[in-house]
């Protein structure tokens, strides 16, 4: 019955045409916690119909603003039952969600993949424009730029290695790489993109700083195959100065990356002062 009902909706709206995003939408739903951050940051509660079930979790940066706001699972039937007039999503609902909801006559504001600070700025503008709060977006960007500018620059940069419980690290061409550079650090990882912690190199060469992300997460555990189980990897976090980065700072790409950058820069400044 549910599938027949949805099929009928899709057919009716496909024939009548698909509406464009409405910046004056009053009943807005977000389908994942990356989308939640923008909705909770940019809009008053009166325009937020529902956020994702993860909006108030520890890895959600805007979790305090999600208290007492209705949640919805990223399932077609659940979302359609709310009758939203706009959906915002990053990955929620799966790869075909945007097309599905557009065919159902519901505009979708898609958060693009971000791989640099400039991407983050463009995304903030894109989402702010789609929500009809352009000035709010520009204010967020302005504060972000000001915080980046206020980080004291240094020519003598120490090596830093980004580490996660799964043993994954990040090299050139990623937002994490730009984050380390903005904090006056050189990336210990030589290979571009995402990859595993270089255990062989760590056996004879160590970074000066460890940027440890997600190690404080409540549900963290090390899989049997994680490079973090290796003594060489574990030694880094016990022997080297370590900055514990909250998962909410880096789980999604946004203005809140500045919290991680400032924490790293402050750690570097404190080491120099010793």
The answer on pLDDT for 6 being more than 60 is no
CB-CB contact of 42 with 137 (8 Å): yes
Determine the distance from the C-alpha atom of residue 70 to the mean position of all C-alpha atoms in its chain, rounded to a whole number.
21
The reply to whether 2-144 and 155-273 are identical in fold is yes
Residues whose CB is less than 8 angstroms from the CB of residue 173 and which lie 6 or more positions away in sequence, other chains included: 115, 192, 193
**Tens of pLDDT, residues 52-63:** 999 999 999 999
What pLDDT score does 62 carry? 96
- Specify which residues 29 forms β-bridges with: 50, 87
For the domain made up of 2-144, the CATH class stated in words is alpha beta
- pTM here is 0.84
The answer on pLDDT for 2 being more than 50 is no
**Tens of pLDDT, residues 189-222:** 999 999 999 999 999 999 999 999 887 655 555 5
**Tens of pLDDT, residues 139-174:** 999 999 999 999 877 766 899 999 998 899 999 999
Tell how many helices (H) and how many strands (E) occur in the chain.
11, 10
The answer on pLDDT for 272 being more than 70 is no
**Tens of pLDDT, residues 19-35:** 455 567 889 999 999 99
What pLDDT score does 177 carry? 96
pLDDT, mean of residues 245-271: 89
Distance between CA atoms of residues 164 and 213, nearest Å: 5
The answer on pLDDT for 271 being more than 80 is no
Least confident of 3-17, 30-44, 104-118, 232-246: 3-17
3-class SS of residue 49? strand
Residues whose CB is less than 8 angstroms from the CB of residue 37 and which lie 6 or more positions away in sequence, other chains included: 60, 61, 62, 252, 254, 256
Instruction: Report domain extents, the chain.
Output: 2-144, 155-273
What pLDDT score does 238 carry? 86
Quick one: what percent of the chain has pLDDT higher than 70? 85
Q: Which CATH superfamily includes the segment(s) 155-273? A: Nitrogenase molybdenum iron protein domain (3.40.50.1980)
What pLDDT score does 213 carry? 87
The answer on pLDDT for 10 being more than 50 is no
Q: Which residues of 206-222 are buried (b: 16+ CB within 10 A; e: fewer)?
A: bbbbbbbbbbebeeeee
């Amino acid at each position: 019955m549910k599938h027949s009902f949805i099929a009928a909706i899709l057919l009716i709206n496909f024939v009548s045409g698909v509406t464009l995003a409405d910046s004056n939408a009053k009943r807005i739903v977000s389908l994942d916690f990356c989308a939640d951050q923008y909705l909770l940051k940019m809009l008053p509660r009166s325009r937020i119909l529902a956020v994702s079930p993860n909006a108030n979790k520890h890895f959600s940066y805007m979790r305090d603003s999600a208290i007492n706001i209705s949640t919805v699972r990223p399932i077609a039937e659940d979302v359609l039952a709310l009758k939203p007039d706009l959906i915002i999503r990053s990955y929620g609902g799966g790869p075909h969600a945007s097309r599905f909801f557009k065919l159902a006559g519901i505009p979708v504001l898609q958060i693009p993949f971000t791989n640099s600070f400039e991407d983050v700025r463009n995304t903030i503008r894109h989402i702010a424009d789609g929500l009809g709060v352009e000035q709010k977006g520009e204010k967020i960007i302005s504060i972000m730029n000001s915080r980046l500018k206020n980080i004291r620059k240094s020519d003598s940069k120490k090596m830093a290695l980004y580490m996660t419980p799964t043993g994954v690290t990040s090299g050139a061409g990623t937002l994490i790489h730009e984050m380390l550079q903005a904090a006056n650090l050189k990336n210990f990882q030589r290979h571009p993109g995402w990859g595993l912690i270089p255990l062989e190199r760590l056996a004879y060469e160590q970074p000066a700083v460890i940027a440890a992300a997600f190690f404080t997460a409540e549900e963290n555990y090390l899989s049997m195959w994680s490079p973090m189980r290796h003594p060489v990897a574990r030694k880094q976090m016990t022997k080297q100065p370590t900055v514990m980065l909250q998962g909410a700072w880096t789980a999604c790409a946004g203005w809140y990356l500045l919290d991680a950058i400032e924490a790293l820069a402050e750690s570097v400044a404190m080491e120099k002062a010793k």
